[in-house]
Every structure is written in C-alpha cells, then in structure tokens.
Structure 1
Amino acid sequence: MAGSVALALLLPLLLCGIHGHPVPGAKAFNKLLLISFDGFRWDYDQDVDTPHLDQLAQDGVKAKFLTPPFVTMTSPSHFTTISGRWIEDHGVIHNMMFDTETGKKHNFQTTQRKNEWWDNGLLPLWITAQRQGRKSASFHYPGGASTYQGQAVYRTVIEPYFHPNGNETEWRENIDIVLDWFTREAFDFVTLYYGEPDNVGHSVGPETEERRTIIRQIDRTVGYLREAIQRHNLTHSLNVIITSDHGMTTIKQQPNITEILLSKYINFGDLVKFHIVDYGGFGMLLPKPGKEESVYQALKNAHPHLHVYRKDEFPERFHYAKHERVLPILLYADLGYHISARLVIHFNKGDHGFDNDYMDMKTIFRAFGPDFKKNYLAEGFDSIHIYPLMCKLLGVTPEPHNGSLAITQAMLSDSFIQQTGETPTRPPEIGPGSTGTLTGSLLRNIAIGLGTVMGVLVVLFIAAVSYTAVQRKKM
C-alpha cells in the first residue's frame, strides 16, 4: 500500500517533466515584460518633450536605434522578435495571409486568427518558456493567439476587430491587467502590444503635430507604467523591454511622381495569376505559367525607383526570399515611393515596408529593471538579437536562432552576469533555413521525454518492489 501511495504522489510530478519543466530548486529568475509600440521610429522622441522616456534612459538601457528585419511590416517583424529567426525561416512573410489559388487575401486582423499562417514548425518564446516551467501570456501581440506544435500560449488577449488604438485610458487599464497577471497569478513572461504611433503615422504622416501628440501620450503611458510597477511591488522583480516593429516615412502626395503603377508596364490579365501589392513600398507577383520571364523583363527597368528581382536573386542581406511562401517576382521601391497594381487605391501619408537600411525604417529599444545596467547607451543593433537576451533574462534555454547574446550582454548588470555566467546557454544557429530548428527541437524533446519515461519506469519498479515487500510482511 505504501508503494502505491508513493507512486500516486510521484507520477504526476514525473509526467510534468515530459513537457520540459525544470528541476525544482533551480535558480529563480526575474519576470519579463516585452512592450511594443507599433511604428515608433527611432527618432520620434527627439522633436517632442518626453520626460519619462528620458528618465528611463537614465535608469536603464537605451540603444541608438534598432534595425527591424525586412520586410519592415508589423507581423513579420514581431514574429522575428519573439522567435529569434529571420523572416525566411519563420515564414510569417507578410501582414496578410493569402492563397494564390483562390486569390483570397486576409487583412491584418483576420490573419491574427489564422493559425496556419503562424505555426510553421518554429517555437516562439511563449511556448519555449512554458515548456521549461515558465508561465507566459500575450496581450494583443501578433502571433499570440495561435497554437504552436499543438500548444497554446497560457493566456491570450487578441486584439478585437476595429479596435480603437489610441485610447489612453485603455492603455493604462491594459498595463494594470498585465501587472496583475504578474503579481496575482505568477506569470513570468508577458508581451503587450499597442497599435500606435503606427496608425497616426499612416493617416497624417510622421512629420506632423498629430504624431508628436501621440508620442507625448506614449511618454505619459511609460510614466504610468513605472508608477504602476512600484504600486504592484514589482520594482525589484520585473524587467521591461520597450521596442517596436518598424519606423515610418513620409509618402509625398505627388501621385504622378511617387506612385509606381505596375499596370503601365504589364498587362495583369495576360501575365499575372496573383499579386500582393498595393500595401506600401513592397510587393510580390505570381506570373501565369510560362510568363515569369516576360513579367521580369517588362518590370526590371520600368521605373528608376523600383527594384525588381527574381526570387532566387533577391539580396541575401534581407534574409527574406528563401521561404516557400515567397512569390517568384519580388518588388520594392525607394523610400517614399508607393507600388500599386492596376489602380492607385492607397492614400497613406506615411508608410513602411521599405529597405531596413533606411534610417526612417529603424525603431527604438529601451530596457530597465533589476537585471539591466543604468544609464547605458548601446550602439544600434538588429532586432534578431532581442530573443537570446530575453531567454537569458528568463533563464530559458533558447531554441536554435539567428541572434547572438554577445550583441546585448553588455546591457546586463554585473551582478546578473556573475550569477548566471557570461556564456550563452546555447550558441545561435548560423545561417538560414528552419530544418535545424525542427531537428533540434525534436531531438531535444525526444531526449527529455525518454529521460523522463526512464525515471517513471524506475519509480514504478521501486514502487512495485515496495508493494511486494509489504504484502509479504502481511502474509
């Protein structure tokens, strides 16, 4: 009987190990909040008074700028941050899910609800952290509503359709909700997303008083966040990273000059089966069978501010074109120019999606908390490197990734480095392609599972022996 009781008590704990939970008693790590303000260009705080962001730089870390991945769009960039992989590896290649056979294109909000667009074999940090015993949540963050390899983020709040992005009262309420998750429900890692200043940048342009007004609102929100952290008694246990997905540039309102209308150069009905254009300075075309070369030749020198590539010739520095979802012909425009297909249907006064080398596409990075240095100014770096930094802060063994902790480790406090060591928990994966991630994750999970199963078998054996011994004594 004693053996049966022991088995009943031990078996649930051992079975938890199959999901990769750490051994109890491991070093405790602080909590982490990742906040993204969509479309916050790197210099938006330089022409407006931002006392809270300024103070944050004194009390923590500021990078001169952050370089997002190409294509500089919301969903692709956010998923690079949360997965540590280039876009051609994780497969979220656009804000819009599309089907080249049916011609269907789903808008940004609908795409957030399409699991098949996100779950491409890679594990975002939410899931990796959960498999290692951490508790993760997503509040409006792109990709947070999906399941990955059958596992969902522990808690998700998905952004509603037609959500009013600029409500300052709601922004503060969301902060309180998230901080309550940390204090009352023991969450370890939460991502929080805001849709501004992107919407203002699109509608009125980045060089406007309206944009400066929304930056003041963001600054007040940062001040509220810091006050709320103190109120929730999280000052010494919560690290915060504030960043964004891309910058913004002015689209000059000169349609005859800055609009690149592709129908001037090709007949869509005769040559093109499917296109995803009309969304800024980037686009892709699927020519009809046998028409690829005709489309390429017609467009490659069509406009002095239009860059046209075959998929296999797209510049390697973008780490974009090797995914199977990418269409055969890729187009991107020079800064400030817009690509349209048959008609000009795009009237944004500001936009993104351009080459990530342009300073207008670069964005912000701020960080503060018990594990960060104070008054530390970092050089600009690629957003791909945020992932290993977050893993380090959480004490999570990362999935294979394209980043490097060496880029960001100097931001961390000396005491944190002394406690955790200077060597990354795992070297980053080198080079594109998701095969390494799938294989590495599979082998690691198999190893964890086999080890745990062996442990269960040993306990079963011991329990059986103990039970037999008890029965013999009764006889």
Structure 2
Amino acid sequence: MAPTRPQVIPHRRESSEASADERTLCEQTSDDEGYDGRPSGELSEGDHDILESEDERERLLTQKDGISGMFGKGVRIGKRDKKEEMRERKKGGDEESSALMYEMEEGIGARRKHLWRRLCIYISIIVLFVILLTAAYRLSTPKDVAAAATMVSNGTSLFAPTTILISLDGFRADFLYRNLTPTLNQFIQEGISPKYMLPSFPSVTFPNHYTMATGMYPEAHGVVGNSFWDPALEKEFYYTDPDRSLQSHWWGGEPIWVTAEKQKVRTAVHMWPGSEAHILNQKIAYVDKYNGSEILPAKVNRIMDLLDIPGPQDIGASASTPRPQLIAAYVPNVDGDGHKYGPNSTEIRQTIANADSMLGDILKGLHERNLTGIVNVIVVSDHGMATTDVTRLIQLEDLIDPAELSHIDGWPLYGLRPKNPSELNRLHSQLKDKAKANPNIEVYLRDEDMPARYHFSQNERIAPLWIVPKTGWAIVTKDEFDVEEGKARGDVYHPRGLHGYDHEHPLMRAIFIARGPAFPHVPGSRMDPFQNIELYNIVCDSINLTPAPNNGTLRLPLKPVGHHNDPETPPNETPEDPVPQNANPSSSSSSSPPLPSLATMSTTFDSLSSIAASASGLEDTSPSVDESNVSRPTPPSKVSDTPQPDEEKGEKGDKETWWEWLTHKADEVEGWVEEFVHEHVPGGQQNEDGSSEENKDF
C-alpha cells in the first residue's frame, strides 16, 4: 500500500501553529543553527523522490569493496536516518567545499610559483641572448663597442678614428722655405708641427722608417743600417734585395701595423719599408709591395679607394675587404731625385712641387668626402740630404787596407769588421792617426767611445769599428770611384746627394706636420723639435691603440709652445749646402759666401739684372734661369745616372759652354745679391715665406 502523501500547505511559516519540521523544510537556516535532526512527516511526493535519489546516489558513492560496502554502517533505513544523512551530506558538502577551496588556493599558489619560475627562465634566456649578441657584435667590428661609440658620420658613412701617415723620403726640413710647397705650408698653418723633426742615427732610410714604425732606436729594433752583417745568423742584410731583407728575423720590435691589427684595427701599408716582412706572423689587411715606378696620382687614388671601402656599419661591408683605420704610405720620389740630381738642383725643385701637389690631392679628396674634420693626416720625412762632390771624397784605401776586413757595413759611413778580432785596437789606432790629418772623418769604437746621443752601440749587428764622415763627405773604394783619377778627369760623382750623417746636423733634419681630430690645437701651433722615436706613440694615440714597449715618451695631446706666426718664433733656418770644410756639424750655417770680384760682377751684372731685381723684391730667385729674358735652350729635365766626363769641365775652365758659364756667373751674382740684401736692405734676411736667407738652387 502506498504511503499517504503528506499535505503541504503553502506559506505555513507565517502561522504560529506550524511545526518545527515544516519550518525546517521551508525556512532558510544556516548550517549550524535551527536544525535539530528530527525527521519530517510531512514531505511532499517530490521531496520523497529527491531524498530517495540522493540516498541512492549516496549509497553508490559510499560503496566500497563491492557488496560489503553496500551493507556497512553508513547505510540506514528510515526517515530519521535519511534526515541525518541529509544533514551529514550538508556538513560533508561544506567540508568538501572548504577542502575544494583550500585545494584551489593551493593550486593558485602553485601556479604562481610556476609562473615566477618560468619568468626567471625567460629572463635568463634573454640576458644570455643579449650577451651572445654583444659578443658577436664585438667580434664583427674592428674595435670594441666603446670604440664603435666614437664613430663619426661624414653624412654617408660612420668612421672610426682613422689616421693617414705619409712619409716623404728625403724631404729636408728647409725644403719648406723654397716657395715650392703651398699645400704643406698651408697644412702647417692648419695643424701642429715643430720647426723640424730629428731622425735617428744613422740617418738612412730603412733604419729610420722602422724607427718611426716601432718607436725604437735602430740599436733596439735591429735594423741598424741599409746594409749590415749579423754575426749570430752569419748573414748579410741588404735593403734592396728581398732575399736578404724580407725575412722576419731581421725585424725586431712591434711595428705600428702589427700593433693595430693585434688590436682589431684594420691597417693598409703602402710600400713602407719592412711592411712586406711577415713580422710576428701577424696578418695585415692590406700590404702594397714596393713599386719605385708608381706615379704619385696612383698613390692618391689608392688612398682614396681605401677610404671608400664600406665601413663595418655600412651596407656592403665585408670582413674580407674591411675599411682600414690606419693607412701608412711611403713616397720615395724626393729621396730618389735628391740622390740623382742633388738637393739644390733645378730638377729637385719640380720633384718637391710634385710631392706637395700629391698632398694637395689627398686633402682635396678628404674634403670632397667630408672627412677633413674626421680623418687625421700626419706628414713626416725620414731624413734630409746633403750635396756631394768629387772634391769631398775620401779613398778608403788611404785609411785602411780592405784586405784586413771581413765585412764593411753601411754607407756613406763605414762599419768595419776585422778578419782577425785581435787586430781591432791596432786598426782603431791607425784610423785615429789618419783622422788627425783629415778632420772630415771621425773614428769610433762601438764599445768604447761611440757618442751616447747616437744610441748606436747596444747591438751585435753594429760593427765594432766605425768611420763617420762629416756631412757632405763620402768614403769610396777604388773599385767604386778612383778619387784622384776622377779629379783629374773632372768626373762627376754620383750620387749627387747623400745622407746617413750625424742625425743632429741641420742638413739631416726631417719634418713632422699633423692635423685632425686627434690634434685639437690652435691652427698653426708650434711645438719643440723632437726625435722620430716619438712618432709611434703619437700614431697609436691618434687611433686609440695601446702602444707596445718602445723608446718614445711623447703622448697625445701634444703640447704647443707657441704659434708659427709669433714674433718670438725662431727664424726659418736654411743651412749652407755644401757644408764648408771644418764647419761645426751641429750648427747651421750663418756665414755668407765670399763676394765675387768687381770685374766679375760688372761682367755679369747687366746680363743677369733680372736676378738682382727679383732678389731686391725678396722673391725666390731660383726659377729665374727659366724666367729671365736671356735667350737660351731649356735644360734637360733629367740627366743620366752614368758619370759624364765632360759634364763639369767648365769648373776647370776648358770646354765650358756658354750655358755653363752663364750658370756659374749666376751663382756668383746670387751670392753677391744675398750679401748685399743681408747688409743693406731692411728686413732683407727674410723671404716672403719667412726664411732667413735667400734660397740657393743653382
């Protein structure tokens, strides 16, 4: 029989007669209040269905281990049991809710920890990527990031600190005072320079170019001459023979191109002496082999082409063809023609002017590329030049027997190595006695009385015994030139110009001129003269290199002592060349040439009046041979290297052509004009360019 369905009266909660059970079913109460656990007898049919469904679900959920779980303690029959189960389910649900909330909070915390862990991993990856990117950037650029920050734009490309170093071989300091070098003279007014730079001893090309490249004295870097014997290697170095000069064992120290490349600064070396030797096994970006026939415009084009290479930040940049930050270029023309024609010849004037024009083309190229204020330009020379003559030759055989010598080093100074070392002191005494009768030579023992200022004793490659001629003199062997026979025939001695003498003699003075961002001085600044061992540090500082150990001490910024236009600036010195016999080698010539006789003067004065007129106007008189109104053939632009027996017979009075006679008379009148201007014309001691004497070119 179906149970009687209890009658549910709506809204019984408002009646005072409502039972507690009804209130329990109808009123909203909290989980802990108003519920006494009594079963309700008045449940609707729907409520019964709900309760039964919940009971069935509970049994199924609480069932454990099969059938045994169905008959456990948790299963009860009756309305009270069902009510209690309902209460327990409520409480269990609350506990489950609390547990669920706790688990959710636990899950949220775990997820937060996991999120932070992942975030740290991501940050670490990003930091590592940035480090790797920075390292790759440093390896792909010529310098580090700090150097890259110093790059300057010319409008089309970024340039790291860049320096062009140009060496004009044999360019004597007083060549600047001949009204032939407008570019160099203007360059002086734009940059900083001393009156001159001193070479190192001996004042010859290879030792001095390598001294400028390393900052070391020749005794320190080991290239002690253009030719010398190494007793340890038992080999001879000879500068014009690649088989005897381009081996790395000859070249000590660290040249500037090696220093630069070791510090990731790309370098181009154009014919610089020593650059073709693989020094310290360092690879150099660009090395141009020596080519004595290369024309000057080709050198300009080469330098400009190197600057036009895309930089590391430009489109088209290539690691195999980088743009160099250091360009060192060697120009041999002035030295070559100085030897061939002499430093006071007409021909050398054109060579000097050509070298000046070459520099002008380089500066013009920089201006066209908007690099004038970005690229440093340093112009130097390695030594000067002195005039030679057959009357200033000394026969070696008159001083010593060459048969007693195993090796002869150097030239025009001679380093002697006796075959028998025990004979060294005897040969030294013998030469000392010869020097007493000939004041134009000096004799030194390397280990005893070599002048300390030469810095020329601390190397076994330096011969133990030396004959050093005075400036303008030369020592020759008879197989080279027989002095007595040459004088008798009136032969011309070649070379017509020489160097290699006392490095402090005025005729051996070199030049140094610098301009650019590394030299932020007042334009036209003048500094004290210095020796060329200082050049290495200056070049290093100009492109932010750390120099290798060297003998120099001068560093950037340079310290000016005044301005070239200051009234207290020392006058421009034009040393007398050739040097008078027995002249003090360390002082410049200030004496005037002897006056010609009145008869000679009157004979030639009218025909050469234009020379005197130009001299009185303080102009350079040397071009007057081509500019005067005298009709005569144009002299040849070049002469043969082979001695010509009749070339200078006019000096002895026979077979002298009218052209030679006129030239010699011009020399005499020029000397008379110089003396006249010096003594009688106010301010006559200076030319238009400020030189202290009239220039001599004839």
TM-score when normalising by structure 2:
0.53
Measure, in 2, the Cα distance between the counterparts of 1:105 and 1:189. Answer: 28
Equivalent residue for 2:473, pick from 331, 334, 337: 337
SS in structure 1 opposite 2:193?
A: strand
Correspondence 1:25 to 2:146: yes
Matches within 5 A, 1:240-389: 240-254=377-391, 258-269=392-403, 271-277=404-410, 279-280=411-412, 282-289=413-420, 290-303=422-435, 304-313=439-448, 314-345=450-481, 347-372=494-519, 373=521, 374-389=523-538
Alignment check: 8 A CA contact 1:145 1:153 kept: no
Matches within 5 A, 1:93-172: 93-96=224-227, 98=229, 106-108=238-240, 110=242, 113-118=246-251, 120=252, 122-160=253-291, 163-164=292-293, 167-172=295-300
CA deviation after TM superposition for structure 1 residue 24, in Å: 2.6
Measure, in 2, the Cα distance between the counterparts of 1:249 and 1:35. Answer: 22
Alignment check: 8 A CA contact 2:143 2:265 kept: no
Matched residue type, 1:25: A
SS in structure 1 opposite 2:457?
A: coil
Equivalent residue for 1:72, pick from 185, 188, 203: 203
CA deviation after TM superposition for structure 1 residue 10, in Å: 4.9
Q: Deviations over 1:80-112 (max 9, x none)?
A: 111111111111111235466877563425255
Structure 2 CA distance for partners of 1:272 and 1:250, relative to 1, 3 Å: same
Which deviates more from structure 2 when the two are superposed, residues 63-72 or residues 24-33?
24-33
CA deviation after TM superposition for structure 1 residue 137, in Å: 1.7
CA deviation after TM superposition for structure 1 residue 406, in Å: 5.2
Q: Which has the higher contact order (CA 8 A, sep 6+)?
A: 1
Residue of structure 1 equivalent to 2:576 = none
Alignment check: 8 A CA contact 2:248 2:277 kept: yes
Which deviates more from structure 2 when the two are superposed, residues 98-107 or residues 381-390?
98-107
Matches within 5 A, 1:36-75: 36-75=167-206
CA deviation after TM superposition for structure 1 residue 351, in Å: 0.3
CA deviation after TM superposition for structure 1 residue 199, in Å: 0.7
Matches within 5 A, 1:366-445: 366-372=513-519, 373=521, 374-405=523-554, 409-410=558-559
Matched residue type, 1:171: K
Alignment check: 8 A CA contact 1:138 1:192 kept: yes
Measure, in 2, the Cα distance between the counterparts of 1:50 and 1:302. Answer: 43
Measure, in 1, the Cα distance between the counterparts of 2:228 and 2:305. Answer: 30
Alignment check: 8 A CA contact 2:219 2:459 kept: yes
CA deviation after TM superposition for structure 1 residue 126, in Å: 1.2
Structure 2 CA distance for partners of 1:320 and 1:178, relative to 1, 3 Å: farther
Structure 2 CA distance for partners of 1:182 and 1:351, relative to 1, 3 Å: farther
Structure 2 CA distance for partners of 1:169 and 1:137, relative to 1, 3 Å: closer
Q: Deviations over 1:198-229 (max 9, x none)?
A: 01111111111111111111111111011111
Measure, in 2, the Cα distance between the counterparts of 1:367 and 1:104. Answer: 37
Which deviates more from structure 2 when the two are superposed, residues 181-190 or residues 317-326?
181-190
CA deviation after TM superposition for structure 1 residue 288, in Å: 1.2
Q: Deviations over 1:51-79 (max 9, x none)?
A: 21122112212320010000101110011
Residue of structure 1 equivalent to 2:486 = none
CA deviation after TM superposition for structure 1 residue 181, in Å: 5.0
User: Which 5+ residue runs of structure 1 have no aligned equivalent?
Assistant: 413-475
Q: How many pairs were matched up?
A: 398
Measure, in 1, the Cα distance between the counterparts of 2:351 and 2:457. Answer: 35
Which deviates more from structure 2 when the two are superposed, residues 181-190 or residues 207-216?
181-190
CA deviation after TM superposition for structure 1 residue 352, in Å: 0.1
Which deviates more from structure 2 when the two are superposed, residues 340-349 or residues 234-243?
340-349
Matched residue type, 1:176: M
Structure with larger Rg: 2
Matches within 5 A, 1:215-254: 215-254=352-391
Q: Deviations over 1:351-389 (max 9, x none)?
A: 000001100000111111223222212222111111111
Measure, in 2, the Cα distance between the counterparts of 1:244 and 1:231. Answer: 26
Q: Deviations over 1:209-267 (max 9, x none)?
A: 1111111111111110111112233223210100010000111232xxx2122212322
Structure 2 CA distance for partners of 1:343 and 1:295, relative to 1, 3 Å: farther
Structure 2 CA distance for partners of 1:379 and 1:102, relative to 1, 3 Å: closer
Structure 2 CA distance for partners of 1:318 and 1:114, relative to 1, 3 Å: same
CA RMSD of aligned residues (A): 3.0
